[in-house]
Structure 1
Amino acid sequence: MPNDSTVLRPSSPRVAGYLSKGLARWNIIHCLLPEYSRQVRLKPGSRQPVDAILGWGLKPTSTQARRLAARRGVPYVAIEDGFLRSLGLGVNYSQPHSLVVDCSGIYYDATRPSDLERLLAEANFDADELARANLAMQRLRHLRLSKYNHAPDRPLPLADRPRVLIVDQTRDDASITYGMADASSFQHMLECAIADHPDAEILIKTHPDVIAGRKQGYLTQASKHPRCRLIGDDLNPWALFDAVGSVYVVTSQLGLEALMAEKPVHCFGMPFYAGWGLTRDALRCERRQRQRTLPELFAAAYLRYCRYANPYTGQASTLEATIDLIADQKRQRDRLAGRWLAVGFSSWKRAFITDFLGPASSVRFLQSDHPQPLELEGRDSLVVWGQKATDEIKALCRQHGLKLWRMEDGFVRSVGLGVDLTRPLSLAFDSRGLYYDANNPSDLEYLLAETDFEPALLARAGRLRQRLIELKLSKYNVRGKTRPVLPQDMGGSRPIVLVPGQVESDASIAHGSPEIKTNQALLEAVRQNRPDAFVVYKPHPDVVSGARIGLFDSTARKLYDLELVDYDIVDLIELADEIHTMCSLTGFEGLLRGVEVHTYGLPFYAGWGLTHDRLHASRRQRRLTLDALIAGALLMYPTYVDPATGELCNADTAVELMRQQRDQRSGLPLRVRLYRLYRNLFSRRR
């Protein structure tokens, strides 16, 4: 995926040096500096030749880097966080999704030109780029995304008079000094806001660290004024914009986001977005003479100046994909926020469940399957694996007002089997039931039945489907033998029917296939329905590995023409004309690849008009497109986590991470081989 910035790769290798440990910490530095083939950290006294020195903007920590660049006679290249940075805060080591790279200055320094200021002064933007800018701003407004997205999005209490927002900043921030402002600028801003709006309540947004006493602001004493009120809580900026009619800033980026919220913005310093005719400015910058529209300003700042990358895959990205990723992270975090009690989970699952519940949650694990009433106190939600919600647990949740959740593996899970203790990249948390339980509603069924799938989401689902096909990815991605050659006696006239075997003790059959419950019964039904077909039977990998039940007697072998054990399921799907299944996920993977699917149970993908169904699902009356099914089942329903950082990610990212894992793996890991040996020996003794 191309980068948004217009940077040409060098014709000859160039090297950039840096001093800051922080630059080494972020995963995206390398892919966002294509001008330099390598970036190396320079230790004190190093004489290694470099073509440029990198540093963090004009922060005090960059002083040594700027001096080193001057001594060596090479350019100093300023790097800063981008305007759409991440879900969490950098001080909490949340990986950035965007950076700005400036070779002439830095955007918050109004004392001299920067690359961004030159763009705004000189660049032309065509209709397509402006349309792209407008659409991106619309999505940021709709999704309520900001530079940082850690703060809760809760509305302010209603007021009986107008409100005005003043944005305080932490004392001596570099953007204030270089933005041609000082302490008097904040006092002047306050006085003007009070005078301009004599009947309004003045809301002063100050940093939480100022309220806590860890940092100093400029307007803390303003709360003594009868019409001023300090807001020190972390709040989503869009919640503030919803409550006010005007916004006053010195140099804060909230002023730019307030412009996107269509609020009048008064500037008392010289941030990069001031001086172009969009804001009401107390200062002037003589270099900024041109009038700009908001889409032009946005296109310059977000599309050309910022550079985007996926911090989990380490690949360059675009603004649109970054919006998708952070919005998905935010949605997953907010959905699972709260205080959890996890009941009956094994130690290896405990190791990753906390990551999946996200940064806005806390979890307490209970080994026992019988929680005591005292253990439920102070908890909002209780989660169990699969169908382990006993009547006792259900009653306790009702009695104590806890929300009961079930958890299962996602549909694009891992490179390796869960039964081999391979950590998942996706899990499904369901507050209504479980996706494979056709007897009861589930969150997935509700999503598919009720969601108004927007065109952008459907287009994204279509791209994800193509990527899965291109990469030949499935749920477990266990490598098998090369694509099989089917017998020549088929003559090309017999349709190929793939029958995927299932684990017969699995809950998905108990709750999702009320009539046919064994692999042998399924094969008998298939042979009856397709007597002339060439039937290929693929046993479930968990059964083949010896971990689960699903084998049948020798008489069943007459029901199929060919058994293929160690082949990649995707290869077999691509060979098939039809897939016949009880409720296997192979049916869903077949739909993705355009194969005709017949269901004998009620899997989550049946009943929407995309499959030939033996049974009827009365709750599923809606007709879905394939992309709508994919959007609900892969983009919206599961929760995804990057295993390296433990941070929430999304489906598109998980697919790329699986590709990387699969490409790096050669054969079955020794850990898995030893575990299988131990497991099989142990099961025989039992």
Structure 2
Amino acid sequence: MPDLFPADTDENASLADKEERPRPALGVWSRRLLNVPHLAAFLNASIRYRPRLPSPRHISDITALTDWGRAGTSERTRRLADAHNLPYLAVEKGFLCSLRPEDESCSLVADATGIHYDASRPSDLENLLNDTGWETPALLAEAREAMTAVLRHGLSKYNMAPDAPPFLLTTPGQRQRILIIDQPVGDHTIAPGLADGDTFIRMLEQARRDHPGAALFVKSHPDTALGRKQGHLTAAARDCRAALVPGDFSPLSLLAQADEVYAVTSHMGFEALLLGKPVHCFGLPFYAGWGLTRDAMRCPRRVRRRTVEELFAAAYLLYARYVNPVTGHPCSARDAIRLLSEQRRRNEQNGGYTACLGFDRRRRPLLRAFLASSHGETAFFRNDTEAVRRASANKGRIVVPASWPASPLEGVCRRAGVPLVRIEDGWLGREGTKAERRPASLLRDEQGTPDDASRPSTLETLLEHAPMDEALLTRSQALRAYMVKHGITLAASVAADTPSAHDAADGRPMPLDAPSALLVAGTPPAATARTPSGRDEWDDRRLLRLARDAQAGAPLYYLPPFRQPGGTPAPEGATLIRPADLPRVLPSVRKVLTVASAAGFDALLRGVPVHTYGSPFYAGWGLTGDEAVFPRRSRPLTVDMLVAGALILYPAYYDWSGRRFCGPEEICRLLAGDGAATARPTGLRRILRRLWGH
């Protein structure tokens, strides 16, 4: 049975290919489980909703039954499975889930033996940890890499909480800091972990005896802090003069300040092990009994001693299953960590007060989405004085369009000590109708704008100074290869009226048999005006004259400015192309000439030489021939480093179907048509599922 529903680890197969593969059928009794998005992808099975299971005709096509691990309906589903001689698969949320509890989860666990938090019976995870032979050097290296990423980004099951203040667990005289983890009354892991309410009191008393001179801190569950649920230690902590940790904070940031940790069955105990903290367990969570924790009780089934890396590898890499909620594809733990770290980074970046100035009402929903944070507030103003006053009072920031005049607002913000942020639509991906297209990416800059080389920008600073390790460059290389393979270009993404990136502008075959063509990529006049001062200014007409003289009868292509209205006449001696033609035209081009077009960046991705006559963000790094001089850009870049800075580190990406932040990989998959929209079976679809039985 453990191998009946193996996780689908083929991350590169398309959804259409996956749907054609024969898969076992899982009967689902619980409507709540049925509503989990991408459940079939998680379980690598076809899903059959069976509310009337006892009838023989309702079980004839079912391979097994599934339900939540210890939910109210799970025991009934287990009994039904036994009565009909069907295997049972227990499902639970994984260890790295989402930004907020209500968001779609990146991870589920599926257990054919028990469930990991139920110590009263074996589980697939426990059996795996008792077994041997799976601890390969490659797996343990992957586990160490994933652990490092989890710790670096501060990831947990849910990731909406801010980091704890640096000295939250302060103690007079450098006393030892003991963190005691409380859990809500009724927590579904307590009883299966062979504990009860009295266990928490015994834990608190034992911590006092073990550390008589230490400072005790009790961490309550967020729902307890908000008054939604009752904790076990709220009253007892006051009686023993233990300090209650105020507020909700990222678990890892709080655990990092503790010297020792006491837990019953909380997952924070395992996260403390990741940080190398001594952990005392008073229940039997999955991580107890393997020689890593100091245990108040013993599980005789757990016979091996394990390292933290082995425990992480078994639980996070082998036991848990991952699906990218944006694309609907099964993915690796590495990809889930990447997606969650980006969501957490944007959530933290948007925290606090944001005063938006200069945006019309049509742009406000877009701004609210891109500036959303679980601990942030966004307000809109027409008056700059009031905006600065409110931002200063709330220790916030001012956000303006990138086209906003530089002065005098900059001086006012500087005197008030308020950061000024400029934003504009990003380069990659748009969604919606032609009349109202929502950008899938947004550029946020605290210094300037990326296409104005007369002053620094956040992008320029990133490209000049940001550390770029092997993992980032490997990711950048994969992103570039995917964009080239699927014909995704920045030029087509930012064009105002382009067809699909896979189709030619008018359906005619392009004349691609000339190996020495030149391409002049047009630039909007506004961008042309932002070329560095003190040098000759170039425009498209001048570039076309230069190109015609250089070509001497060889093919010449002209890509008009993206924001220029349609109906542009073809220049003399040049073939007019549209952004959608670029993937097929660029292989025949020996050089691209441009002032500052995004098509120059697309050409660099495909290894085509580019010569710039203005100041695009990709010029001055040793990758292009440049007429202008860029004294601030002294770091020589590779194309992968340029992609890492310009497409991975700098923009914010947003998935409008799921209303969440994501990465450029998800946007590219959606642009290539290789993703799945969020599908919650509600309304008519839910009724049809019940009628049809699937």
- Normalising by structure 2, we get a TM-score of 0.86
> How far does the alpha carbon of each residue in 1:560-603 deviate from its partner, in whole angstroms, 9 at most, with x for none?
43223475222222321111110111111111111111110111
Distance change in 2, residues 1:512/1:199 (3 Å): farther
In the alignment, the residues of structure 1 paired with residue 432 and residue 580 of structure 2 have an alpha-carbon distance, to the nearest angstrom, of: 14
| 1:156 matched residue in structure 2 | 167
Cα shift at 1:661: 7.7
| 2:91 matched residue in structure 1 | 79
2:597 is aligned with 1:597: no
2:306 is aligned with 1:292: yes
| 2:445 matched residue in structure 1 | 430
User: What is the 5 A alignment of 1:551-590?
Assistant: 557-558=571-572, 560-565=573-578, 567-590=580-603
Q: What secondary structure sits across from 1:38 in the alignment?
A: strand
Distance change in 2, residues 1:615/1:533 (3 Å): farther
In the alignment, the residues of structure 1 paired with residue 244 and residue 676 of structure 2 have an alpha-carbon distance, to the nearest angstrom, of: 54
Q: What secondary structure sits across from 1:31 in the alignment?
A: helix
In the alignment, the residues of structure 1 paired with residue 73 and residue 394 of structure 2 have an alpha-carbon distance, to the nearest angstrom, of: 43
| 2:682 matched residue in structure 1 | none
Q: What secondary structure sits across from 2:290 in the alignment?
A: coil
Cα shift at 1:401: 3.4
Distance change in 2, residues 1:237/1:416 (3 Å): closer
Write the letter of the residue equivalent to 1:20. S
| Residue from 529, 532, 536 that aligns with 2:557 | 536
Equivalent residues of 1:207, 1:232 under 8 A apart: no
Q: What secondary structure sits across from 2:564 in the alignment?
A: helix
| 2:282 matched residue in structure 1 | 268
In the alignment, the residues of structure 2 paired with residue 663 and residue 255 of structure 1 have an alpha-carbon distance, to the nearest angstrom, of: 36
| Residue from 422, 431, 436 that aligns with 1:421 | 436
| 1:678 matched residue in structure 2 | none
User: What is the 5 A alignment of 1:177-192?
Assistant: 177-192=191-206
| Residue from 394, 403, 414 that aligns with 1:398 | 414
Write the letter of the residue equivalent to 2:440. L
In the alignment, the residues of structure 1 paired with residue 299 and residue 537 of structure 2 have an alpha-carbon distance, to the nearest angstrom, of: 76
Q: Alignment identity in percent? A: 38
Distance change in 2, residues 1:430/1:373 (3 Å): closer
> How far does the alpha carbon of each residue in 1:498-537 deviate from its partner, in whole angstroms, 9 at most, with x for none?
1112332x3x322246543532122234445665753211
2:153 is aligned with 1:132: no
Distance change in 2, residues 1:198/1:64 (3 Å): same
In the alignment, the residues of structure 1 paired with residue 148 and residue 253 of structure 2 have an alpha-carbon distance, to the nearest angstrom, of: 16
In the alignment, the residues of structure 1 paired with residue 10 and residue 582 of structure 2 have an alpha-carbon distance, to the nearest angstrom, of: 40
Cα shift at 1:25: 3.4
Equivalent residues of 1:415, 1:662 under 8 A apart: no
Equivalent residues of 1:201, 1:227 under 8 A apart: no
In the alignment, the residues of structure 2 paired with residue 593 and residue 433 of structure 1 have an alpha-carbon distance, to the nearest angstrom, of: 29
Q: What secondary structure sits across from 1:391 in the alignment?
A: coil
Cα shift at 1:626: 1.3
Write the letter of the residue equivalent to 2:528. I
2:337 is aligned with 1:323: yes
Distance change in 2, residues 1:21/1:343 (3 Å): farther
Distance change in 2, residues 1:533/1:449 (3 Å): farther
Which structure 1 residue ranges, 5 or more long, are not aligned? 665-686
| 1:103 matched residue in structure 2 | 112
Equivalent residues of 2:50, 2:58 under 8 A apart: no
Cα shift at 1:48: 2.7
In the alignment, the residues of structure 2 paired with residue 26 and residue 219 of structure 1 have an alpha-carbon distance, to the nearest angstrom, of: 33
Write the letter of the residue equivalent to 1:486. P
In the alignment, the residues of structure 1 paired with residue 32 and residue 662 of structure 2 have an alpha-carbon distance, to the nearest angstrom, of: 22
| 1:362 matched residue in structure 2 | 377
Q: Aligned pair count?
A: 643
Distance change in 2, residues 1:370/1:24 (3 Å): farther
Equivalent residues of 2:322, 2:333 under 8 A apart: yes
| 2:26 matched residue in structure 1 | 16
Deviates more, 1:588-597 or 1:222-231: 222-231
| 1:27 matched residue in structure 2 | 37
Equivalent residues of 1:106, 1:115 under 8 A apart: yes
Q: What secondary structure sits across from 2:585 in the alignment?
A: helix
Deviates more, 1:525-534 or 1:227-236: 525-534
Distance change in 2, residues 1:662/1:72 (3 Å): closer
Alignment RMSD: 2.9
| 2:686 matched residue in structure 1 | none
In the alignment, the residues of structure 2 paired with residue 5 and residue 170 of structure 1 have an alpha-carbon distance, to the nearest angstrom, of: 39
Write the letter of the residue equivalent to 1:54. T
Distance change in 2, residues 1:351/1:269 (3 Å): same
| 2:641 matched residue in structure 1 | 628
> How far does the alpha carbon of each residue in 1:172-209 deviate from its partner, in whole angstroms, 9 at most, with x for none?
21211000111221112111211111221111111132
Q: What secondary structure sits across from 1:243 in the alignment?
A: coil
Q: What secondary structure sits across from 2:41 in the alignment?
A: coil
Cα shift at 1:353: 1.8
In the alignment, the residues of structure 2 paired with residue 602 and residue 502 of structure 1 have an alpha-carbon distance, to the nearest angstrom, of: 11
Distance change in 2, residues 1:103/1:315 (3 Å): same
| 2:364 matched residue in structure 1 | 350
User: What is the 5 A alignment of 1:159-558?
Assistant: 159=171, 160-225=174-239, 227-360=241-374, 361-366=376-381, 378=394, 380-389=396-405, 391-414=407-430, 420-475=435-490, 476-477=492-493, 478-479=499-500, 480-481=503-504, 484-486=509-511, 495-504=516-525, 506=526, 508-512=527-531, 515-527=536-548, 534-545=555-566, 557-558=571-572
> How far does the alpha carbon of each residue in 1:62-120 deviate from its partner, in whole angstroms, 9 at most, with x for none?
344344434444233211111111122x2xx2110010011111100000011111111
> How far does the alpha carbon of each residue in 1:365-416 deviate from its partner, in whole angstroms, 9 at most, with x for none?
3467886666655471222222124534334433543321111121212268
In the alignment, the residues of structure 2 paired with residue 94 and residue 565 of structure 1 have an alpha-carbon distance, to the nearest angstrom, of: 39
In the alignment, the residues of structure 2 paired with residue 269 and residue 442 of structure 1 have an alpha-carbon distance, to the nearest angstrom, of: 53
In the alignment, the residues of structure 2 paired with residue 51 and residue 44 of structure 1 have an alpha-carbon distance, to the nearest angstrom, of: 13
Distance change in 2, residues 1:175/1:383 (3 Å): same
Distance change in 2, residues 1:250/1:634 (3 Å): same
Distance change in 2, residues 1:424/1:168 (3 Å): same
Write the letter of the residue equivalent to 2:337. I
| 2:103 matched residue in structure 1 | 94
In the alignment, the residues of structure 2 paired with residue 79 and residue 447 of structure 1 have an alpha-carbon distance, to the nearest angstrom, of: 42
Write the letter of the residue equivalent to 1:518. D
Cα shift at 1:244: 1.3
Write the letter of the residue equivalent to 1:100. V
In the alignment, the residues of structure 1 paired with residue 607 and residue 435 of structure 2 have an alpha-carbon distance, to the nearest angstrom, of: 31
In the alignment, the residues of structure 2 paired with residue 630 and residue 565 of structure 1 have an alpha-carbon distance, to the nearest angstrom, of: 23
Write the letter of the residue equivalent to 1:262. G
Write the letter of the residue equivalent to 1:434. T
Q: What secondary structure sits across from 2:488 in the alignment?
A: coil
Deviates more, 1:194-203 or 1:363-372: 363-372
Distance change in 2, residues 1:452/1:308 (3 Å): same
> How far does the alpha carbon of each residue in 1:323-355 deviate from its partner, in whole angstroms, 9 at most, with x for none?
111111111221222222222323332222211
Write the letter of the residue equivalent to 1:220. T
| Residue from 625, 629, 654 that aligns with 2:667 | 654
Which structure 2 residue ranges, 5 or more long, are not aligned? 1-6, 12-17, 494-498, 678-694
Deviates more, 1:46-55 or 1:641-650: 46-55
Write the letter of the residue equivalent to 1:217. G
Write the letter of the residue equivalent to 1:312. V
- Normalising by structure 1, we get a TM-score of 0.87
